[in-house]
Amino acid sequence: MAEGRRDPQPGDLIEIDRPLYQHWALYLGDGYVIHVTDERASSVWLSSSSIRATRAKVKKDPLEEVVKNHKWRVNNKYDRSRTPRPVEEIIRRAELCIDREVPYNVLNSNCEHFVTMLRYGEGESEQVQKAAAGSAAAAVGSIILGVAAFVGMALSESASRR
């Protein structure tokens, strides 16, 4: 399994740990990656402009420049459930996208969706799925706490009337 390797091969997915999220790129070879970026963002941190962005630019950049001082790894985690396209096709499709503007939405068309679409033909973002599941769990937890507080108040009020 390629997951966790530090010696990227053309077509590999590169996961870059950033504060609060992971940025994803696809390794092209010769030290270069392709990735989707919001050029208006002032840093590599998650910016409010990235959250609100509806368009982003596909860039070919040196891996070292994209990673900077953040931790990164090869992470072809979807290979367990999907069959990657042939490497030549992945690279050909990726190169057709360089310097193009593409639709961007942090929830359904982000950097991870972009690179998984290139590698597998289908976009997927586990970090969005986890965030959505966490939000749903938090919402259910809030509802349960609210109901418990309401029931507690009702029981308390009922006991004080006696």
Q: Angle at the Cα of 101 (from 95 to 106), degrees rounded to 5?
A: 105
Catalytic residue (one of 23, 35, 97, 113): 23
Is 23 assigned a catalytic role? yes
Q: List the catalytic residue out of 35, 97, 111, 113.
A: 111
Q: How far apart are CA 120 and CA 138, in angstroms?
A: 32
Q: Is 111 an annotated catalytic residue?
A: yes
Non-local (6+) Cβ contacts of 123 within 8 A are 108, 109, 112, 113, 114, 116, 117
Start-to-end CA distance of the chain, whole Å, equals 67
Report the catalytic residues.
23, 111
